[in-house]
Amino acid sequence: MTHVCFTLQVDPAKLDAYREAHAAVWPEMLQALADTGWRNYRLFLRPDGLLVGTLETDDFAAAQEAMARTEVNARWQAAMAEFFPSLGEARPDQGMVVLDQVFHLEEQLSSR
């Protein structure tokens, strides 16, 4: 299993609307994420708009590709685009900056 952490920048003027959208994600979007291998997916939002996402998956590239092939993802990305003006024409799911893991407590404990 792979643990993924990524960042994006939400328009600070639209944080309330972004939170509202994620309080009621479309059921078909939730199901598509689950069906394409996104597990334990969480989003964290800082007051300045820094968005940090984490998830677990078997293969992140495959999970992204599978989501990109769904009709609901195209609609969701179009609806979310207004929250990410710094991405220009890129879809939010294409603008994720994936971070390198540099520490994992359990991994180091188990190697002792």
Between CA 108 and CA 82 the distance in angstroms is 41
**What pLDDT is attached to residue 52?**
98
**What pLDDT is attached to residue 103?**
96
**What pLDDT is attached to residue 112?**
87
**What pLDDT is attached to residue 47?**
98
Between CA 40 and CA 100 the distance in angstroms is 18
Cβ count within 10 A of residue 23: 7
Between CA 111 and CA 15 the distance in angstroms is 42
**What pLDDT is attached to residue 102?**
97
How high is the mean pLDDT in each 10-residue block of the chain (112 residues)?
Answer: 97 98 98 98 98 98 97 97 94 96 95 89
**What pLDDT is attached to residue 59?**
97
